[in-house]
Amino acid sequence: MQPCLIALLVITAAISLPVAAQGMQVPKPSPGLMPNPAAGKALFEKSCASCHGARLQGSDQGPPMLSTIYEPSHHGDAAFQLAVRNGSRAHHWQFGDMAPVSGLTPDEVAQITAYVRLEPRKAGIQ
């Protein structure tokens, strides 16, 4: 096995272990799905904007998504999947806990995540 593949497997296992240890299964999008930020924008507007703002700027109900806090190095894609399925405890912001969001599939959450990842970059947030 190539060293890069071994390193990737070790990193993936290390990241997955805390979630697995808590008894949570991470929802997974369909194999081969190519998330589309445009599709994600429409889904975000329908299911997320009421709390996170129509332009991801946040509201009095939820934090802005235009933030380095939502970079992949801090909150990986699995964090979005888990937050939608299970909700999320307040830990960076003072908005209270996030309730689960019903009616979204893992594929739809992957589309939303693609949109949320693209917009900060377009706004110059690295």
Residue 62's CATH number: 1.10.760.10
Residue 14 has a pLDDT of 43
Query: Distance between CA atoms of 108 and 81, rounded to whole angstroms?
Result: 10
**What is the tally of structural domains in the chain?**
1
Task: Give a yes or no: residue 96 inside a domain.
Answer: yes
At 115 the pLDDT is: 96
- Which regions of the chain are under pLDDT 70? 1-23
Q: How far apart are CA 36 and CA 68, in angstroms?
A: 21
The pLDDT score that the predictor gives to residue 22 is: 56
Q: From the centroid of its chain, how far is CA 85? A: 11
Question: Which residue range(s) make up the domain with 63?
Answer: 27-122
Check residue 121 and give its pLDDT.
87
pLDDT of res. 113: 96
| Continuous H helices in 1-126 | 3-21, 37-47, 49-52, 77-86, 106-122
